[in-house]
Amino acid sequence: MGIARLLWDIDDTLFDYTTAERLGVLQHLSDEGLLSEFDSPERALSLWQQDMEYAYARFLAGELGFLEHRRERVRLFLGRTGRSLPDTRATDAWFGRYVRCYEDHWRIFPDVLPVLDALRHRYRHGLLSNSSTPHQHRKLKKLGLRRRFSSLVCSDEIGCAKPAAEAFAAGCAGLRLPADQVAYIGDKLTTDALGALGAGLLPVWIDRPATDPEPAPSGVHRIHTLADLPGLLEVIDFGAVPPIG
Ligand SMILES: [Mg+2]
């Protein structure tokens, strides 16, 4: 039995989250007059990401709701400056201004639409994301991608997150297929590829930066552009030699 469905990660796989966040944060901190509070823009960005990762881990662990995790990020980050911390309403407004800057830079990667078009008739497609369902639904609609996927499963609804096998099982349930007939495409080696491998899916690691000189772990299929996905699936399903180029 071959691969019948493709299950996709969203952030930094379909959607260029890293660039949108970087440009959005720098614009927001500049607008708020906060960049001068840090040694450099890179330092400010690094601390923002550090606070985001801490608060997001608490969200994924179920310790904070999505809105609360945003408030925690503001509290942590502004706590690094000499400024007084705003009340809840002002905190939400502050984060809302960041979100507007961030959304101004929302883009999908240029190889996404061509590969979805190429694979549209051969596979049905679903989504599995460590995030909030309303947040990802809104993002996908704004990016014009939502209708291309038959299912959207997010960690906030299922109560577990990748790399847990239960999260991948929920993503496969959304596609109504057993794990061994589903390929998972994601950008993170441990969270996505090794998690999918452990859960019995076929893991495809989209390694866009291509900075890791080590071979991909056994069982993990690494590509550097989604343009290589159709050829890889041909080989896996039919043992065909992919076209060169
Ligand atoms: Mg990702």
Residue 239: pLDDT band with limits 50, 70, 90: low
How many C-beta neighbours within 10 Å does residue 172 have?
25
Work out the angle between the directed axes of helices 41-60 and 17-31 (0-180°, nearest 10).
120
The mean pLDDT value of the chain amounts to 93
Q: Write down the architecture of domain 5-16+108-238 according to CATH.
A: 3-Layer(aba) Sandwich (3.40)
10 CA distance to ligand 1 middle (Å): 6
Cα–Cα distance for residue pair 45/199, rounded to 1 Å = 34
Could you tell me where the beta strands, DSSP code E, fall in the chain?
A: 5-8, 124-129, 151-154, 182-186, 202-206, 221-223
83 CA distance to ligand 1 middle (Å): 33
Q: Give the CATH number of domain 17-104.
A: 1.10.150.240
182 CA distance to ligand 1 middle (Å): 18
Secondary structure in 3-state letters for 87-104:
CHHHHHHHHHHHHHHHHH
Q: Where are the domains of the chain?
A: 5-16+108-238, 17-104
Amino acid in the structure at residue 232: L
188 CA distance to ligand 1 middle (Å): 6
8 CA distance to ligand 1 middle (Å): 9
Record the pTM: 0.88
Give the model confidence (pLDDT) of 141-185 as tens digits: 999 999 999 999 999 999 999 999 999 999 999 999 999 999 999
